[in-house]
Chains A and B, each alone.
Chain A
Amino acid sequence: MTGTGPAGFEAYWRATLEGLARYPAAPEMEKLPLRSTPFATLYGVRLTSVGPYRLFGYLSIPTGTGPFPAIYYPPKYQSVLEIIPQGTANLQRSRYITFSLAARGQRNADTPYAAMFPGLLTEGIDDAPSYIFRGIVADSLRGLELLTTRPELDRARVVVSGNDIALITAALAEGATHVVAAPALFHAAAELAPKTTAYPLEEINDYLRLHPARAEAVRRTLAYYELRAFAPRVTATTLLMAGAPGTLLDGRALGPLVSALKGTATVHESEQSLYKDGLYAERWMASQCGIADVQSILPEHWRK
């Protein structure tokens, strides 16, 4: 890795990958008739990650012969696991394989460990080796690994779509050809947190207010998760969903990250409309994956 990571950055993540490799995924797939449709079959998937810890995901396979492009939804920063993101047309599942993963602590993967929101971001944050997100990143890597074993998959069209974890996953794992990422957790977090009172970064402020002596340890841990440090390893074509101009994570704030990405990057600054931003991302993914009739897989109220 290149210069922006702390000393030991490479060793930290190499050890994480080695730890993950010690455990086979041992996947179990179970068809879920309730969520299966004429155009896609949904499976509940259980698989093992580092720990060892048993995870859960929703895998949707389109009806037909494929190969199909895929969208991998790595763990989000919320307790709930969605099949596809709220508001996405269910018909997305007719054209893409989709796989959404609950990391340790999230719903369906919340025993024996149940995560709190807010709370997860600072859980163990004063100790980089045992920081909770080390396991969560490993979980995400395991999810992508499982997805890429699917015979129905077109390996030339694999989109990883999510928050910071999407970008980190694309940096550390083989298989992502495209990334859609909306950074919220780990871009310059130590510098940006004091400038906001909004969660999730407010969690860091809360933590340091109660534990000021741990500030340096927190800064050290966050350095291992700094997106700019991962960026030189991201070769996937990337769409960064930035905040609206003038907000904490706007295009200007993400500038150093964009510059550091190895692959081609596009930045979309939020238009403060879930319709406009969502439509942009859906069209971008479709164009990157060679899906010409994106209209047919958009939500009804987004079609023109």
Chain B
Amino acid sequence: MARDDAMPTAKKPDDFDAFWEDVLGQASAIPLEPELVPDPLRTSDDVEVFQAFYTSIDRVRVAAWYCRPAKRAERTPAIMFLPGYQMDPPIPKEWARKGYIALSVAPRGKLRSMRQFNPGYPNLLTHNIVDRHTYAYRGFYVDTWRGIDVLLSRPEVDPARIGVTGSSQGGGLTITTAAMRSEVRAASAGAPYLCGYMDAVELTHTYPYEEINDYLRLHPERRRDVESTVAYFDGISFADRITCPIIVNIGLQDNVCPPETGYALFDRIGARDKQLYPYDGHGHDAGRARHTAVVDRFFAQHLLDGAART
């Protein structure tokens, strides 16, 4: 594909900022009530593992995994890991082994966070998609943003050295989190999903985006409402708010998140310090085998000892 193909059709709604300010206002009224429960089964000599829980908007209790290096500084940098669409949020021990405190969030609907909200998979992507005020990703996004508050509530976390990362849906959530949480000092987004929704459903016919095509096949009269809703949730609409250093990797043969949407997203990112890594010959892995070292260096530069502190 040519990079010039990357022309997003989604337009940022005029009241985009007002919509999200209102959502954040609702969320701020909900106490976080963070809780860490030691998990001796998953804890090893080098990594302490906890099951984490906190309360998010609509008073949904959200689960997460919290890992910290057994040997750490009084103030340790932190990484928040965000999950793929159908991924079961992993225990982020590897990040802890690299010297970070790591929080792996299970937003509502995910395993361990589905008691109060469970639209299912497939279905999450189109759950209440005609109404931005109740669309599934409204709460889902807030859940991830409040993960930053969980990190900030921990005395061992250095609040000036927090990063966020993930791939696929985790990449999309990385974009929205970096946009909405100024505490994020570095972000790495892989194969970002939830960016260019309505372009993606034309460019590819694979799940999970295919859920929208399924929905519109059955309910063609609702297209305008769908388009209106997803414009508020499109990562491309959030991108200009990002100011922290950020790297994005995409696969040029990505069959899940079309690379055209990755290019379109990258062009809209507001940060000056941004770098795109397009991997030819790669699909939804977005070059992970090679790119992992790039991500490690990026976060080490921005978050580990020696990084500038404010």
Find the B residue at minimum CB distance from A88.
B206
CB distance from A115 to the nearest CB of B (A): 9
**Interface presence of A86 (CB below 8 A):** yes
> Interface size bucket, B side?
35 or more
> Given A117-B111, A118-B91: A273 and B256 within 8 A (CB)?
no
Known contacts being A197-B94, A244-B289, is A301 close to B86, with CB within 8 Å?
Answer: no
* B86: chain A residues within 8 A (beta carbon): 78, 80, 82, 86
Provide the residues of chain A in CB contact with B288, threshold 8 Å: 272
Given the known interface contacts A82-B86, A118-B91, the answer about A301 and B285 at a Cβ–Cβ threshold of 8 Å is no
**Beyond A80-B121, A209-B44, is A34–B218 a contact (Cβ under 8 Å)?**
yes
Q: Are B283 and A278 in contact (CB under 8 A)?
A: yes
- Residues A275 and B282 in contact, CB atoms below 8 Å apart: yes
Kindly identify which residue among A34, A37, A117, A209 contacts B88, using a CB–CB cutoff of 8 Å: A117
Check B283 against A274 for contact (C-beta < 8 Å): yes
- Is A47 positioned at the interface, with any CB of B under 8 Å from its CB? no
Q: Is the CB of A87 within 8 A of B284?
A: yes
A74-98 toward B: CB 8 Å interface, digit per residue (1/0)? 0000111111101111110000000
Judge whether B214 and A87 touch: CB under 8 Å. Answer: no
Q: For chain A residues 204-233, which have a beta carbon within 8 Å of chain B?
A: 205-207, 209-210
Q: Are B121 and A34 in touch, CB under 8 angstroms?
A: no
Question: In the complex, are the beta carbons of A116 and B111 less than 8 A apart?
Answer: yes
Give the chain B neighbours of A107 by CB distance below 8 A.
Answer: 120-121
- Among candidates A33, A82, A118, A275, residue contacting B251 with C-beta atoms closer than 8 Å: A275
| Interface presence of B255 (CB below 8 A) | yes
CB within 8 Å of B: which of A32-81?
33-35, 37, 78-81
Residues of B within 8 A of A89 (CB): 205-206, 255
B218 touches A273 (CB 8 A): no
Question: Is A199 engaged at the interface, CB distance under 8 Å to the other chain?
Answer: yes
- How many angstroms between the C-alpha atoms of A107 and B123 in the bound complex? 12
Assembly CA distance A244 to B283 (angstroms): 16
What number of A-B contacts does a CB cutoff of 8 Å give? Answer: 128
Q: Which residues of A contact B210 (CB under 8 A)?
A: 90
* CB-based contact A34/B289 at 8 Å: no
Q: Is residue A302 within 8 Å, beta carbon to beta carbon, of the partner chain?
A: yes
Min Cβ gap B239→A in Å is 22
Kindly state the separation between the CA atoms of A110 and B288 in the bound complex, as whole angstroms.
32
Residues in B with CB closer than 8 Å to A278 are 255, 283
Q: Which of B42, B205, B289 contacts A90 (CB 8 A)?
A: B205
A108 at the interface (CB under 8 A from B): yes
| 22 pairs, CB–CB < 8 Å, chain A vs chain B | A34-B215, A34-B218, A35-B122, A86-B284, A90-B213, A91-B205, A118-B88, A118-B90, A118-B91, A198-B94, A210-B41, A272-B289, A272-B290, A274-B255, A274-B284, A275-B251, A275-B281, A275-B283, A278-B283, A299-B205, A301-B1, A301-B204
Given A35-B122, A107-B120, 17 further pairs, Cβ under 8 A: A35-B214, A79-B111, A80-B121, A82-B207, A88-B207, A107-B121, A197-B97, A202-B93, A206-B44, A272-B285, A272-B290, A273-B282, A275-B251, A275-B255, A275-B282, A299-B206, A302-B283
